[in-house]
Structure 1
Amino acid sequence: METLNDNCVKGKRILLLYARFFGYDVIVKNKLESLGAEVDLYDARANINTVEKAIKKIDSRFYYKKQRKFHKNIILNTRNNQYDFIFSNENIARETLMDYKKAFLNAMLVLYLDDSVENMKGVNENFDIYDRVLTFDRKDAQDYGVIFRPLFFCDTFKKLHEEKIQENNDICFIGTCHSDRLFVIDQIMMRYPKLKYFLYCYLQSWFMYYYYRLRDPAYKSKSKNFFVYKQMTMDMVGAYMAESRAILDIQHPKQTGLTMRTIETLGLGKKIITTNKDIVNYDYYNPNNVLVIDRNNPIVNEEFINSPYHPIDAELYYKYSIEGWIEEVFGE
């Protein structure tokens, strides 16, 4: 399969309520529009400052009120539009979802989970409101009876794959430094000091650095300047990954679904070193391309890094592209 079914989104009007992360909201919007859809994009989450984030952790009622008002304004701004789809990747309150259904009677309400149910408290309690629920997590799809659809790689990675960029690094890590990611990175670098690394350990703010420093011993040996506090553009993410032989993926301990970074690695035609044991159950798994490590005792086979990548089947490659994702998410 080489081209998207034009009947899928061509001529459709879509409201995207997309929780913003590394520009994927804009990427999806632009791709949908290039395929003939008319798209209105809004952040699915009300903007809150650092102090408000702290308050939210203590009492979520504050955020609920702000979020409810935020979505009422979106409905007010778009109430005259006739949507075919309302898409969200965020855990939106039940009352707010009902507001959208009442305002846009003919729209299909679609939820795509790019995080595990366990990390999105109570999201499964609202599945009955949606017309279509999909998840990137294979286990959640089985447990909750929803559609299993992995994440996607965007065109940036496909183009870089075709260019065959020179590889200057052995291992590349780009991502938010949450959970035990810093510990795993430190263990690998300590055990394999001769390998060449590119690291981009992102934190949302200096506040988060000091917060983690108080709670996690791994942060005590790092200055705040070790981390970066600005999200990298998608083009830069792709460029740095393309210059590396293998990509390091450390999924959240509570998450079993494959991360976006994992799928982007597939798009680039790169090897992946991952803590996610569930990857062996995916249709593109090949031990020549995928090395599963223990997050508590990460062992990296250097022969794996230096051996050639084995290309996957063209149909599978399409499946994990953004076009393949759109076809499943918005298809009949």
Structure 2
Amino acid sequence: MTQRKLLIVAPDVFSILNSVVSFFESRGFDVVFLDDRNSQGFIRNVILRFLRSFYFALFSREIDSRIEKIADDFDKIVIINGEGYDIHHLLEILKKGEQVSFYTWDSVNNKKYLKHFFEVLGDKMHFIGTFDKIDSEKFNICYKPLFSAKIDKPASSTRYQYSFIGTMHSERLKFIYDFLRDGKQDSTQVYVALYCKNIATYLFHMMMNLGYLRAYVSLVKIGFLPLSDFEKIMSASEIVLDYSHPKQAGLTHRCVTALRNGKKVLTNNPNLANSKTVDLNGREYFLITPTETEKAEFSIENWASKF
């Protein structure tokens, strides 16, 4: 029997991609990966983020060449986010396989190009979905939250009352600063680590947070925490702190992982049931207690079922 072939076009993000690849390989697929970003260079990605049309004027031929080298006999293609491609690139990728699906863990409010993708690709896809509930309702596409695996080796006891591990963006540092300044928790029972991908990103966010410079230097690091350490700290925490991007309504991977593994979550995101309002230095946040339904909903089996 010929092995089925799957092309995944996605950003190479933390453990999420590894989980997706491993899942489909366990279902008998020969998986080929194409990086959604085309390049990990800081300057190039800044141009892509803020000067999208100029980016494709510079690099479209290079991207075309990469796509031409891809085989055209895939049984399935899964495109996640697609930020590093314009619509004509995605239409070319569509020709490489029989059953093509598109999914995003971003929002139109944060990435305007997604609106055009939804409008053009909607009737050409086997499946199109988003983690953002507002976009799902507005553009009549499937709402599908992110997924998480169960932690293999959870901690045997609680070491931290609260923990937060995540990348640096928007007002995350302000959220953590307000939380620590609140003074209602023992600082020895709180674990906080914010990460920047590289030194350029670190310096950029430092300039954006000069009003919190002491907290920035203390809490923000360069690089990433290994997945095993992330899981160890989360499983040893009573409550996981979460700050969603203000332009997104979707649940973060951190939030989903915490709920999937039975942890309470304190978040700025109001888009979950079973939440209790909490005031933190004059700002409204939501304390969420996980349910058995959510634990099942956030499995990778459920997430991948439509693809």
TM-score tier, shorter chain, comes to 0.7 to 0.9
Q: How does 1:1-332 map to 2 (within 5 A)?
A: 12-56=4-48, 59-65=51-57, 68-91=60-83, 92-102=85-95, 104=96, 106-127=97-118, 128-129=120-121, 130-131=124-125, 132-155=127-150, 157=151, 159-160=152-153, 163=154, 165-192=156-183, 193-195=185-187, 196-222=189-215, 224=217, 226-280=219-273, 286-287=274-275, 291-293=276-278, 297-298=282-283, 312-313=291-292, 316-328=294-306, 330=307
Once the two structures are TM-superposed, the CA of residue 60 in structure 1 deviates from its matched residue by 3.2
Tell me if structure 1 keeps the 8 A contact 2:148–2:257: yes
| Aligned counterparts of 1:318 and 1:57: Cα–Cα separation in 2 | 34
Report SS of the residue matched to 1:28: helix
Q: Deviations over 1:250-271 (max 9, x none)?
A: 0111111111111101121111
- TM-score norm. by structure 1 comes to 0.80
Tell me if structure 2 keeps the 8 A contact 1:183–1:218: no
| Aligned counterparts of 1:213 and 1:316: Cα–Cα separation in 2 | 36
Specify every segment of 5 or more residues in structure 2 that has no aligned partner in the other structure, as ranges. none
Q: How many residues align?
A: 299
Give identity over the alignment, percent: 23
| Aligned counterparts of 1:316 and 1:50: Cα–Cα separation in 2 | 36
Once the two structures are TM-superposed, the CA of residue 230 in structure 1 deviates from its matched residue by 1.1
Which residue pairs with 1:7 in the alignment?
none
**220-229 or 255-264, which deviates more:** 220-229
| Aligned counterparts of 2:107 and 2:279: Cα–Cα separation in 1 | 20
Report SS of the residue matched to 1:118: coil
Report SS of the residue matched to 1:142: helix
Tell me if structure 1 keeps the 8 A contact 2:162–2:190: yes
Tell me if structure 2 keeps the 8 A contact 1:46–1:67: no
By relative contact order (CA 8 Å, sep 6+), the higher-ranking structure is 1
Pair 188,95 (structure 1): closer, same or farther in 2 beyond 3 Å: same
Tell me if structure 2 keeps the 8 A contact 1:55–1:62: yes
Report SS of the residue matched to 1:83: strand
Tell me if structure 2 keeps the 8 A contact 1:85–1:109: yes
Pair 71,293 (structure 1): closer, same or farther in 2 beyond 3 Å: farther
Q: Deviations over 1:276-315 (max 9, x none)?
A: 11223xxxxx34xxx54467735789xx8xxxx97633x5
Q: Deviations over 1:1-55 (max 9, x none)?
A: xxxxxxxxx9642100111211311221011101222211121111142333455
| Aligned counterparts of 1:70 and 1:30: Cα–Cα separation in 2 | 29
| Aligned counterparts of 1:146 and 1:323: Cα–Cα separation in 2 | 20
| Aligned counterparts of 1:171 and 1:49: Cα–Cα separation in 2 | 34
Tell me if structure 1 keeps the 8 A contact 2:279–2:285: no
Tell me if structure 2 keeps the 8 A contact 1:187–1:298: no
Q: Deviations over 1:182-204 (max 9, x none)?
A: 11101111112524111110112
| Aligned counterparts of 2:258 and 2:267: Cα–Cα separation in 1 | 11
| Aligned counterparts of 1:310 and 1:99: Cα–Cα separation in 2 | 44
| Aligned counterparts of 1:56 and 1:74: Cα–Cα separation in 2 | 17
Letter in 2 for 1:180: E
Once the two structures are TM-superposed, the CA of residue 86 in structure 1 deviates from its matched residue by 3.7
Report SS of the residue matched to 2:8: strand
Report SS of the residue matched to 1:84: strand
- TM-score norm. by structure 2 comes to 0.86
Tell me if structure 2 keeps the 8 A contact 1:276–1:292: no
Pair 65,257 (structure 1): closer, same or farther in 2 beyond 3 Å: same
Pair 22,47 (structure 1): closer, same or farther in 2 beyond 3 Å: same
Once the two structures are TM-superposed, the CA of residue 164 in structure 1 deviates from its matched residue by 5.4
| Aligned counterparts of 2:21 and 2:29: Cα–Cα separation in 1 | 9
Letter in 2 for 1:142: E
**25-34 or 58-67, which deviates more:** 58-67
Tell me if structure 1 keeps the 8 A contact 2:8–2:31: yes
Pair 300,215 (structure 1): closer, same or farther in 2 beyond 3 Å: closer
